[in-house]
Every structure is written in C-alpha cells, then in structure tokens.
Amino acid sequence: MTAALGAIAVGIAIGVVFGALGAGGGILTIPVLVYVLGQDPHAATSASLVVVLFGAATGIVHHACSGHVLWRRGGLFGLASVVGAAIGSTISPLIPAAGLLTAFAALLLGMAVLMARKAARTRHEENEGAVDNAAGGQGGAEAKGSAGIANEDGVEDGAAGVRCGPAGPHTSGAPNCGQSRPSLWALITTATVAGLLTGVFGVGGGFIIVPVLVGLLGIGMRHATATSLWIMVITVVASIATRAIGGSFDLDWTVALLFAVASSIGAAVGGPLSDRARPSTLTAIFAVVLLVVGLYTGGETLLT
C-alpha cells in the first residue's frame, strides 16, 4: 500500500514536469523507482518505459491542439531512431546495475551543461528580439506567443516568433535564420543515438531529442518539446516490443501502472503550464532538473 501511494504521489509530480518540458519523465522515474520504491535498476528501466509512454501520449494532447507538434518531422526522426531503440533494449539487460546507473548519471550531467548554455543563449536572443521588435513597432504582432506560428515546412525561432522557411530567412533578426540544413547522415546518427539511449536506459530520450531538435534542426524550444513527445511514443513502443520479444520486459506491473496513470494526469496539467513560460525559462528548468538528478544518482551509486 505504501509503495502504491508513493507511486501515485510522485507520479503526478513527475507528470507535471514531463508535460511542461516535453522530457524528464524517465530521468526522474528511474531514480524514484530505484531509491524510493526499492526497484531493481533493470526492472526500473522497463517500468520507466511504461511511464514514459503513458506520459507522452497524454502530454501530447494539449500540444497537438495548440499546433505545436511537427508531426512529419517528428515521425521521420522517430522512425530513424527505431533501430537504435531495438539495439539498446537488447543490450540493456546485459549491463551491470551499477554500471547502468553510473553511465546514466554521467549522461545527465553532460546534458545539463549543454542545456544550461543553451538557456543562456536563448535568453540573450529573446532580449535582443524584444528590443528589435519594440524599435520596429512590430512587437505586438510578431511576438504574440513566444513560439509564433510554425508549420511543417518552416523552422520556428522560439525566441522572437520569427519563422524561417526552407529557402532562407523571411525576416531578419532570427538567430536560427539562414542556418544550413543538416545532412541526412547527421539526422540518422542523432536519431539512432536517441533511440539507443531510450532502449538502454528506458528514459524516452527527451533529454537528447530536445537539444537535437533545437540545436541541429533549429526548431524553437516550444515546438521541440511538443514534437519530442511524439518521437518518444515511437521509440518507446519499439523499445517495449524489443524487450518483450527478448523476454527481458520484467517489472512490477502494479507500481508501474499506478505510476503511469498518475504521471499521465500530471502531464495533462503540465502541458498548459508550458504556454506560460518563456522558452529560455523552460530550457533553464530542464538543465536544473538534469543537474540535480544526475548528481543524486551519481552520488548514490558511487557511495553504495
């Protein structure tokens, strides 16, 4: 009963973070399952996949209604990550528990640094965009909603709401405008890595998918967080299927399902919260979450 109540309470809290940031479900779920609910690390990664799938499927509803999900791009990225997810799900049970958690902590700390730097750059770009819009008398029209309007063919700058299309910038002043298109191999490689991390750690891959969408594809933070949920659904389903076929999908179903349902409720609440925050704020919160969880997981693993 205690474990069930704990799973519900923490699941709701994690779901709020998951829905607001488009990531974070797995990176918070695994430490909670291991250190709070006493789950085996390998079983925790399987349970985390269930939690992430429920959370992503629920959290994406609000973003889809708001038009923030780039379905075509996300679908192609997700399909490219399926191979990595299958490989990761196959090798994850073969990694010792301590090694799994140590690698997990190191990965989180590295991503925390990268996202902190991105938050600082995005805040600077937002401030410059606000000044430029005010000077040009176009702030009210162009800055309404920090993400502006995105479509399947354009790249949205999350800072100033300026859209860049495939032929180049339509408006000056957007930091991502004029950015060259990434190579096909670069996209396939990063998608495979994201899928691999999902398969190995059971984390959904949002902590690498979001930076890739923002940094490599030039998509604004708000659209990147929304699209990452769609990509997670694809990669997590592939990971669960691989584990089930290989006979390594072992978990406490009661705790996992309670956690998943609770996180789904939290994700439904967290989705609308993302509309009230600046993209740089979302990025900074993301970085802090990664840092705290990475330090805690690393410390607990090394001291045990």
Q: Is the pLDDT of residue 149 over 60?
A: no
Q: How far apart are CA 304 and CA 302, in angstroms?
A: 6
Q: Could you tell me the pTM of the whole model? A: 0.68
Pairwise pLDDT comparison (102 vs 175), residue with the higher score: 102
Q: How far apart are CA 234 and CA 232, in angstroms?
A: 5
Q: How far apart are CA 19 and CA 12, in angstroms?
A: 11
The predicted pLDDT at position 90 comes to 92
Which H/E stretch holds residue 89? Answer: helix 71-91
The predicted pLDDT at position 34 comes to 84
Top mean pLDDT of 138-142, 144-148, 149-153 is at 138-142
Q: Is the pLDDT of residue 178 over 60?
A: no
Burial class (CB in 10 A: 0-12, 13-18, 19+), 208: buried
The predicted pLDDT at position 125 comes to 82
* Segment 9-63, tens digit of pLDDT: 767 777 776 666 655 566 777 887 888 778 888 888 888 888 888 778 877 888 8
The predicted pLDDT at position 266 comes to 75
Token pair for residue 220?
């604004």
Contact (Cβ atoms closer than 8 angstroms) between residue 262 and residue 37: no
Q: Angle 279-303/97-136 helices, nearest 10 degrees?
A: 160
Q: Give the residue-averaged pLDDT of 253-273.
A: 77
Q: How far apart are CA 214 and CA 201, in angstroms?
A: 22
The predicted pLDDT at position 167 comes to 37
Residue 6 CB-half CA count within 13 A:
13
Q: Is the pLDDT of residue 128 over 60?
A: yes
Least confidently predicted of 76-85, 94-103, 164-173, 280-289: 164-173
Give percent of the chain with pLDDT exceeding 90. Answer: 12
Give percent of the chain with pLDDT exceeding 70. Answer: 72
Contacts of 134 (CB under 8 A, 6+ apart): none
The predicted pLDDT at position 161 comes to 39
- Concatenating the DSSP letter of every residue in 50-86 gives HHHHHHHHHHHHHHHHTT---HHHHHHHHHHHHHHHH
Q: What are the boundaries of each domain within the chain?
A: 2-303
State the pLDDT confidence band at 197, using cuts at 50, 70 and 90.
Answer: confident
Beta strands in the chain (DSSP E): 155-156, 163-165, 168-169
Contact (Cβ atoms closer than 8 angstroms) between residue 49 and residue 239: yes
The predicted pLDDT at position 82 comes to 93
* Segment 198-256, tens digit of pLDDT: 889 887 777 678 777 877 778 887 888 889 889 989 999 999 999 999 888 888 888 88
